[in-house]
Structure 1
Amino acid sequence: MTGLSALAPAGELNFTGFGTVGLGTALSGVKQRYFGFDCPCYIANYPDVGVYGKKLDLGPDSRFGLQATYRLDGGASFTGQVTAHGGNDLKPAMDWAYGSLPLGDAFTLQVGRKRLPLFGYSDFFQVGYAYPWVRPPGDLYGWQIVAYNGANLLYRRNYGGLSVSANVWAGSENDKGNRMLDKIYYDAPVDEKWKGIVGGYLELGTDWGAARFVMMTNKVDRLVSGTVNKSGVKQNFYGLTFNVDHNDWVLRTEFNRFVRPDAPKDIYNVYFVGAGRRFGDWLPMLTYSRFTEDYKDDPTANEKHNTLAATLRWDFRDNMALKLEYDVFKDKSGFPFVGNSKAIAVSVDFTF
């Protein structure tokens, strides 16, 4: 992203921004009333509750953000980022608010509020220009907690043609009134707390691709309408991302496993695989994603669904892209969920 800079006493203040204007609709699907949604409906964005119905809608995929970074002469910096999403009536939310302190040439200590770096696109989830789809596959990018308050130690160094990034973090998040759990899963007020978060990732990159390995553990407390639903439930996360950009060919993959190991044991296996080829400024892709829950104590409570997405991206100007996406969503859940649907959306992504 390019930015606007302003000199400030003993440092420099820099602003960058991004946005997506998206328009879409659910073309067809199961006709039903699901909680507060009239279906056919398609969940384009789980964390921000961006849901398409039968009418053309600007809300589910439209989002805007502004980031400010203040750098001190000694190398330390402070970063804040505010975003607003159409699925939440464009109410501003603080995604990032942290300080950074370089420790030598390769290490950086960061303290404050950051997005949880569980997924390959976690850091750029709101920045539509950063990825080929209108939005990352919802089957995978659909967890209720996306940020944490704490500290992390980041390592970055190049070894010849190999770039190495590693990060370890620790902290917690207490989300009172979690919109995703409330609107999509419980139809009731939900308070969600993730405590004792400890995680890390290793990313290796070359000029033709990158691989990323991630692990995290924490415990969950959940209140539904003020009643305890979960208390100190342990969960472990494991993830692998592998991407290729070579001779105009593009491959995007991500594989995740989410395990709550204590009885009653609950396991989530989630992945997507996408491939395409660049033709100048154009990138057509096909992407398949799948979410599968394995809750052996009650199979009727299992959530299962998959999506086939056909996308087309056109980089028609510097820092601007036009995208078209057609999604076919298959709902195979053991309980009455949103049902099958087909949806289409078009977006313009930009940075400044």
Structure 2
Amino acid sequence: MIRASLKLALTAFAAMTAATLTLPARADDAFSVSGFATVAAGKVLGGDRTDDYYRYPCPCFIADYSHGALYAERWQIKQETKIGVQGTYTFTPKLSATAQVVGRGVDGVKAGLEWAYLSYDLTDSWTLQLGRKRLPIYYYSDFQDVGFAYTWVRPPADLYGWEIVNYNGVNATYRGDWGGWAAKTNLFLGRENSRDNLMQRLYYDQPQDVTWKNIMGGDLVLQRGILTVRGTYIQSDVQQWDRTTGERVTPAADLSKSAEKQRIYGVSANLDINDWFVRSEYSVFDRSGYSYKSKAYMLGVGRRFGDFTAMLTHTQYGEHNTFTPDAIQRDSGDSATLRYELGPSTALKLQWDRFRDRSGADLSYVGNSRLLSVSIDTLF
């Protein structure tokens, strides 16, 4: 595992070096290739949990719920180090195919197919796509893997992270101008099966399989001047199974229904005023069938100083469950980030995080902790 993580880090670093030297990506009339890479390292500076959390040594800090990435009280490089390559082949001016493969240190550098879809331009405004894509739950979902695209080392983990990341299906995207507002809307439907789900490794001793089916939803992004706003709504049926016993976990095995209904909705608003900027987002996951609902939000304020960008962010996450009121997760976080532009497509970031665990008395969770992390992010 150590050798694999080092190999990934060296591969990503080599890609960064090429980007810094502005080597062109291979391209011809029909085929183009681009990519991104992150070399990240982190260390927990301290925390109040000293025994293991499931299979993870503590004090610990969860950096990425969706991919099961935790930092411990020693420097680690594999948790968020990754490299991705995307290729697009254009068959005709209206028809193209796109695929993206991402290798992550946290899962042993197994290459995963994150995107694989066909695109057809129906009109100048509407595009139809079929295949595998990122599920657009959050504002940064579509480019969450591309560290160069945002100020933080990572989008705030309190908000950004759920058990399903991608979906297989169809979507229609519209782009246009609505009375001076640049508008983009996306309507989609599909499903996703996740074997040995990475997020559920953080909550269960045994491997869990998760299925979201009958996924449907949409999002709308409006931008005008200094303001960008986005709203999203998603609904689906959820099933979860214990892989070891074969027993259904969601819904509970003793219930007659075969799947649990869920609704996801959220809103974000971003401001850019000269060198100052504000980033905010609010999200709700509602599974009222077993009286569960979670709410999360983040608010960040930053300023650019030439090649430097500084940012402060506050986050909060809370659950409600009538059936198990003392076994709910509640936490908040604060972070301070400093970013430096090494070149037109490469950035160095330093971030300090403080996590406060305020979960219910019956939930054994990770406890309070502090994390120091650094990353180099690039496009190539």
Equivalent positions of 1:65-104 (< 5 A) are 65-104=84-123
The CA distance in 2 between the partners of 1:331 and 1:285, in whole Å, is 23
The structure 2 residue matched to 1:343, chosen from 367, 371, 380, is 371
Indicate whether 1:129 and 2:148 are aligned: yes
Question: Do structure 1's residue 258 and structure 2's residue 278 form an aligned pair?
Answer: no
Question: Across the two proteins, how many residue pairs are aligned to each other?
Answer: 347
Could you give the per-residue CA deviations for residues 19-63 of structure 1, whole angstroms, max 9, x where no partner exists? 110111111002121111110000111111111001100011211
Instruction: Find the aligned partners of 2:196 and 2:202 in 1 and give their Cα distance.
Output: 13
Q: Deviations over 1:255-310 (max 9, x none)?
A: 00110122x21000011000011111111111011110001121122111111011
Structure 1 position 222 matched with structure 2 position 248: no
The DSSP-based 3-state class of the residue aligned with 2:212 is strand
Is residue 339 of structure 2 the alignment partner of residue 313 of structure 1?
yes
Q: 306, 326, 338: which is aligned to 1:280?
A: 306
Q: C-alpha displacement at 1:157, in angstroms? A: 1.4
Amino acid at match of 2:152: W
Is 2:318 the partner of 1:292?
yes
Shift of 1:126: 0.6
- Any idea what SS the aligned residue of 1:336 has? coil
Instruction: Give the letter for the 2:105 counterpart.
Output: G
Equivalent residue number for residue 45 of structure 2 = 27
Q: Does 1:333 align with 2:359?
A: yes
Structure 2 residue corresponding to 1:12, chosen from 1, 18, 30: 30
CA contact (8 A) 1:107 1:156 kept: yes
Structure 1: where are the runs of 5+ without partners? none
Q: Structure 2: which 5+ residue stretches go unaligned?
A: 1-18, 251-257
SS at match of 1:216: strand
For residues 111 and 234 of structure 1, the distance between their equivalents in structure 2, rounded to whole angstroms, comes to 25
TM-score, length basis structure 2: 0.89
- AA aligned opposite 1:247: N
SS in 1 for 2:365: coil
| One-letter amino acid of the counterpart of residue 163, structure 1 | A
C-alpha separation between the residues in 1 aligned to 2:178 and 2:89? 30
Shift of 1:202: 0.8
Counterpart CA distance in 2 for 1:93 and 1:188 is: 22
Whole-Å Cα distance in 2 between the matches of residues 46 and 258 of structure 1? Answer: 15
What displacement does 1:162 show? Answer: 2.1
CA distance in 2, matches of 1:311, 1:343: 12
User: Which letter maps to 1:218?
Assistant: S
The answer as to whether partners of 1:295 and 1:302 remain within 8 angstroms in 2 is yes
Which residue number corresponds to residue 5 of structure 2?
none
The structural deviation recorded for 1:158 is 3.0
Alpha-carbon distance, 1:160 to partner: 6.4
1:244 aligns with 2:271: yes
The C-alpha deviation readout for 1:138-166, integer Å capped at 9, x for no partner, is 01111010100000000011356421000
Partner SS state of residue 59, structure 1: coil
- Name the SS for the 1:194 alignment partner: strand
Q: 1:141-152 to 2 correspondence within 5 Å?
A: 141-152=160-171
Whole-Å separation in 2 of the counterparts to 1:236 and 1:17: 33
Supply the distance in 1 between the matched residues of 2:291 and 2:68 (Cα, whole angstroms): 27
Q: Secondary structure at the match of 1:133?
A: coil
Q: What pairs up with 1:95-114 in 2 under 5 angstroms?
A: 95-114=114-133
- Partner Cα distance (1:233, 1:301) in 2: 20
2:182 to 163, 171, 176: 163
* Equivalent residues of 1:155, 1:165 under 8 A apart: yes
Q: Secondary structure at the match of 2:142?
A: helix
Deviates more, 1:86-95 or 1:192-201: 86-95
CA offset at residue 73 of structure 1?
A: 2.4
Q: Are the aligned partners of 1:161 and 1:207 in contact in 2 as well (CA < 8 Å)?
A: no
Question: Residues of 1 paired with 2:375 and 2:248: CA distance?
Answer: 41
CA distance in 1, matches of 2:102, 2:225: 31
Q: Distance in 2 between matches of 1:48 and 1:298?
A: 26
The letter of the residue matching 1:106 is: S
Worse-matched range after superposition: 299-308 or 92-101: 299-308
What does the per-residue CA deviation read over 1:117-142, in whole Å, with 9 as the maximum and x for residues that have no partner? 11000011110001110000001111
Residue 304 of structure 1 corresponds to which residue in structure 2?
A: 330
